[in-house]
Structure 1
């Protein structure tokens, strides 16, 4: 089970990747999602999680470790 700190670490890695990718950010996120889905090894579960993410795009909260960067909400 991941801790809140683990989730924050993953979020920060994604945020840094998006920043580094610049105009290619969408491609970076798609590639990251596909790599993670492949590692998950369950296509139906991956699709369900993607659909869940699409339904839960509410405003994020501020990251406690970096107030300038936003972190995913609860």
Structure 2
């Protein structure tokens, strides 16, 4: 994702690289702190019906802003 900042470095706007870098950092933090990231090991160990339930739970948590 840091590639975005490098591409924007050569753009017309002098601060576009900063926007790209900030967006990349926000996305990185979101990925590392998301419930899906922390539950990946559990997801690999449960049955298909458990995976279905867990997927629904994660979507509902996201929709209700209980991240």
Q: Same fold (TM over 0.5)?
A: no
Q: Which has the higher contact order (CA 8 A, sep 6+)?
A: 2
The TM tier, using the shorter chain, reads 0.3 to 0.5
More helix per residue: 2
Q: TM-score, normalised by structure 1?
A: 0.37
